[in-house]
Structure 1
Amino acid sequence: MELTKHAHACVTFTDDGRTLLVDPGTFTPNAAELIAAADAVLITHEHFDHLDEAALAAELEKRPDLPVFGPAAIASKLGGRAVVVTAGDRITPAGFTASVHGGRHAVIHADIPVIDNVGYLVEGRVFHPGDSYEVPEVAVETLLLPTSGPWTKFGEAADFVRAVRPARVIQVHELMLSELGQNSARMLLGENGLTGLPLEIQPLGSSTAV
């Protein structure tokens, strides 16, 4: 299976001619193109940087049978055209296996309501947490680690990696960091920093076996 890194929180998984897309949001310039090429779509939560609502709704008008999975708010925004998932669910989008974990978005501020957020473990190996450092109660081989956003903190990111104990860490959710900021994250969170594991920064559009 291959993972391709797109802008911000968006990634695709490809295997045997099948494509599974996760979190095509408005921060991903080619979101509409990625959605059009996908065989199934997973959404972690309703924030615009993870869900390009207009692009996904437009594709569902063309392909009403496109499988879309996400929390209840996703189905609501898409007129019921999404399968609602919660922690503990096991699904097979486009023939991939995925288990659902977590449930709540990380706290941004006491004045901002906390929304639903789910993470997905794809093929029992790769975990996309959405906007949360909630630790899944399963073994994780490759962790996609959010490094920027109004809810993130490097110390909490380090504790998250330590708790999950993956073999590999790949950065996602990075667009609020400059190049200098990303390199700082790599130093602080990498193998010579707080986690003992390299923080891989994948160039946009690049693929890696997972």
Structure 2
Amino acid sequence: MKITRRYHSCVELSKGRSRLIIDPGSFQVPDNLAEVDAVLVTHIHPDHVDVQALAAARRHNPQIAIYGPAELADHTDLDVITVADGDIFTVGAIEIAVHEAPHGTVTRSTPLPTNLGFLVDGRVLHTGDSFPVLAGVEVALIPVSAPWLKMLDVEDFLRASRPIRFIGVHDGIDNEFGLKLRRGLLGRLAEEHGLEYLPLRPGESVEV
């Protein structure tokens, strides 16, 4: 499987001829959004789903399947395949299992949407805006920068779930100084906990 970082929380996964994109948000939409087999949406915050971009992609390719929580169907006029915790579905040769986990708390008064994590082929986990404890994952794609997040949250997740490798995502609000600082911290956490940190930048890929 090939993992390609796009921007912020957006990631593209491909296996053979099957391709999907997770969380194409409004910070920057992938140029190839209309070329994939499916789009997976963890939750309805705009940095995770740009509904206008989805609509444009669907016009170019009506065969794109869109998967997400029930709230997504209320958030767009597009046909959405609603999925929930415990569901398993396939996109071509790729199997996806759904794991719901609470969205990180922003402020006490901020309403929070349903947040889904997606476990791809039992190997690659995209957590959305959450830190679910799920042991035995080969590669975890985890948020590393957000108004609701502390680096202690990242460390607690790594300590509890112990993925073999992890990739930091959800860093679109950081400038270059913040990105450099955060990558240093993530590298040290990986060393301290005996894990492998893959510091992918947007546009970079890794084969797993």
Same fold (TM over 0.5): yes
Cα distance change of structure 1 residues 16 and 208 upon mapping to structure 2, 3 Å threshold: same
What does residue 19 of structure 2 align with?
Answer: 19
- Equivalent in 199, 203, 206 of residue 204 of structure 2: 206
1:118-133 to structure 2, matched below 5 A, reads: 118-133=116-131
Q: Is the counterpart of residue 152 in structure 1 residue 149 in structure 2? A: yes
- Equivalent in 161, 186, 208 of residue 158 of structure 2: 161
* Counterparts of 2:177 and 2:197, CA distance in 1: 14
Residue 52 of structure 1 aligns with an amino acid whose one-letter code is D
* Counterparts of 1:111 and 1:34, CA distance in 2: 37
The Cα shift of 1:194 comes to 5.1
State whether residues 104 and 148 of structure 2, in contact with CA within 8 Å, keep that contact through their aligned partners in structure 1: yes
* Counterparts of 2:196 and 2:94, CA distance in 1: 27
Report the count of equivalent residues: 207
State whether residues 39 and 65 of structure 2, in contact with CA within 8 Å, keep that contact through their aligned partners in structure 1: yes
* Counterparts of 1:206 and 1:74, CA distance in 2: 29
The Cα shift of 1:59 comes to 2.1
The Cα shift of 1:80 comes to 5.4
Residue 181 of structure 2 aligns to a residue in which SS? helix
What does residue 185 of structure 2 align with?
Answer: 188
What does residue 87 of structure 2 align with?
Answer: 89
Residue 77 of structure 1 aligns with an amino acid whose one-letter code is H
Gaps of 5+ in 1: none
User: Which shows bigger deviation, 2-11 or 174-183?
Assistant: 174-183
Gaps of 5+ in 2: none
* Counterparts of 2:78 and 2:202, CA distance in 1: 32
Residue 97 of structure 1 aligns to a residue in which SS? strand
* Counterparts of 1:60 and 1:196, CA distance in 2: 43
Residue 170 of structure 1 aligns to a residue in which SS? strand
Residue 33 of structure 2 aligns to a residue in which SS? helix
* Counterparts of 1:164 and 1:174, CA distance in 2: 21
- Equivalent in 75, 78, 91 of residue 76 of structure 2: 78
Identity %: 38
Residue 12 of structure 1 aligns to a residue in which SS? strand
State whether residues 128 and 142 of structure 2, in contact with CA within 8 Å, keep that contact through their aligned partners in structure 1: no
State whether residues 139 and 166 of structure 2, in contact with CA within 8 Å, keep that contact through their aligned partners in structure 1: yes
Cα distance change of structure 1 residues 208 and 171 upon mapping to structure 2, 3 Å threshold: same
What does residue 137 of structure 2 align with?
Answer: 140
* TM-score of the superposed pair, with normalisation by structure 2: 0.92
Residue 169 of structure 1 aligns with an amino acid whose one-letter code is F
- Equivalent in 170, 174, 177 of residue 173 of structure 1: 170
* Counterparts of 2:180 and 2:193, CA distance in 1: 15
Residue 117 of structure 1 aligns with an amino acid whose one-letter code is N
- Structure 1 outlier segments of 4+, above 6 Å: none
Instruction: Please give the per-residue CA displacement for 1:78-106, whole angstroms capped at 9, x wherever unaligned.
Output: 22511111111101023310100024311
* Counterparts of 1:183 and 1:91, CA distance in 2: 37
